């Protein structure tokens, strides 16, 4: 999948992640999130994902990794060996640090790819609606993965992310 986005255009990649988020079916029990995984050296989009794209109460980042795992014929935990070593993950909302569903948190999935994923670009930090004090960003930075906030999308991302939530 070739990118028509100029290298380093973080706002354009975040817009693409937001387009993915809009595909998520709105539910009151999770956020509609979009993610894009980019090979920085080749400026190539390796995978996209959105909340609930795949079966199993899946999150956007998880869908990216599951699709790549299937494409390369490796288990998700071995995916690092199949990927280039300079990746950037764009996600509309900070990767979760806890899953109430029992699934592996997205931040753990990203940390497993330390050395391949160098930077995670987020549109907003995770609101405390479902998980108080999300430690995703701190976990990424502790693993040596840079966390960069791409500003200017907060209002739009939160409107999409909370579609289906009861407004109080």
**What residues are annotated to the active site?**
61
Main-chain phi, psi angles of 96, to 5 degrees: -70, 150
The span from the CA of 80 to the CA of 78, in Å, is 6
The span from the CA of 144 to the CA of 141, in Å, is 5
How many CB atoms neighbour CB 132 within 10 A? Answer: 7
122 touches 91 (CB < 8 A): yes
Spell out the alpha helix ranges (H) of 10-162. Answer: 10-21, 60-72, 106-111, 136-142, 154-161
Task: Report which of 137, 128, 84 is spatially closest to residue 110, judged by C-alpha positions.
Answer: 137
The span from the CA of 40 to the CA of 38, in Å, is 6
């Amino acid at each position: 999948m070739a990118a028509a986005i100029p290298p380093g255009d973080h706002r354009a990649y975040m817009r693409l992640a937001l387009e993915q988020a809009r595909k998520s079916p709105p539910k009151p029990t999770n956020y509609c999130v979009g993610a894009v995984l980019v090979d920085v050296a080749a400026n190539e989009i390796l995978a996209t994902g959105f909340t609930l794209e795949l079966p199993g109460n899946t999150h956007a980042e998880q869908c990216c990794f599951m699709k790549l795992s299937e494409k390369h014929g490796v288990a998700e935990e071995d995916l690092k060996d199949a990927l280039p070593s300079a990746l950037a993950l764009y996600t509309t909302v900070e990767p979760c640090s806890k899953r109430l569903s029992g699934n592996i948190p997205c931040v753990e999935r990203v940390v497993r790819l330390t050395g391949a994923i160098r930077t995670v670009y987020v549109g907003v930090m995770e609101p405390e609606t479902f998980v108080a004090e999300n430690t995703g960003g701190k976990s990424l930075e502790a693993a040596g993965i840079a966390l960069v906030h791409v500003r200017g999308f907060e209002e739009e991302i939160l409107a999409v992310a909370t579609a289906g939530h009861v407004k109080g």
